[in-house]
Amino acid sequence: GVMGEIMGISDLEVKLRDKLGINYVVISKNVNGTEDMIAEGVAKCAAKYILKNLGPHDKVAIAGGTTMRRIAENLVKDKDNEEGFEDVILMPTRGSVGSEIEIQANSIAALAAKNLGAGVEFLYVPDELDGSARETLMSIPDVRRTLDHLRVSDKVVFSIGRADMMARRRGMSEEDIKALTDKGAIGEAFGYYFDKNGEIVMKLNTVGIDIEMYKNAKDAIVVFAGSEKVESFLALYKLNKNLTLIVDEESAKEILNRI
Ligand code: G3H
């Protein structure tokens, strides 16, 4: 629209931040990029933002998915960056959610920690465990420590997905996907499927950050690329306005048109 043409990126960032009522917005500028280039541009912006804002003792929870994977790959310190991150701790937001190993939160936390020279804690608790097996795993000191640290994390970095796409990725049957979308599910984050009002329609049985922890998070950073996720974002952002949004330019403009 006219607005996008006459406004620079930083004006757009401020305008979007104010209209959403959140803490901060970073927009990745793009001109006719492929989907891949757009995703990479957003991930680079996110990595830069994290490097700039990372405190030397921060506990950082990072989610799974392809967006987080790209961010972790780009979390590389400048050679002249004297800042040490050896006291930073990376943690996965969740245990396994049954997706490919490279995009599981555990693997992404490990990669981010390696690139930063930081520490890492894991949550190796498989999904779909029954009561006593789950209790036993959750009583392991390492797992308890990770969960305790997740509750006091300084930053929570995550992406959002479209409900149908995430359900399909996680191997849900077409019949169940239809049931899920019939209930109004449009977005997904942290293993929760939401409707357009941010109401939870379904929750995965996986260990990690729950919705209350997310609502109380000190510094949440949501990163996404692609305007097909705008609806999911609009469903979720009101849950915690203590939020930074890092997004591509086209989606940013789409959000502005929708609020
Ligand atoms: O929960 C939503 C997913 O993290 C989004 O996954 O980054 O691969 O699109 P993605």
Is the full-model pTM beyond 0.90? yes
Instruction: Supply 62's token pair.
Output: 């990072």
**Alpha carbons 219 and 235: distance in angstroms, whole number:** 19
**Alpha carbons 158 and 61: distance in angstroms, whole number:** 8
Q: How many CB atoms lie within 10 A of CB 154?
A: 18
By C-alpha distance, which of 169, 180, 151, 32 is closest to 93?
Answer: 151
Residue nearest to atom 1 of ligand 1 (CA): 189
Rounded distance from Cα 64 to ligand 1 centre (Å): 7
Distance of CA 229 to the CA centre of its chain: 12
Ordered per-residue pLDDT tens for the chain, 259 residues? 445 456 789 999 999 999 999 999 999 997 678 999 999 999 999 999 999 999 999 999 999 999 999 999 999 987 666 668 999 999 999 987 666 889 999 999 999 999 999 999 999 888 777 788 888 888 999 999 999 999 999 999 999 999 999 999 888 999 999 999 999 999 999 889 999 999 999 998 888 999 999 998 989 999 999 999 999 999 999 999 999 999 999 999 999 999 9
Amino acid present at 127? D
**Alpha carbons 14 and 4: distance in angstroms, whole number:** 13
Write out residues with Cβ below 6 Å of ligand 1: 63-67, 159-161, 166, 188-189
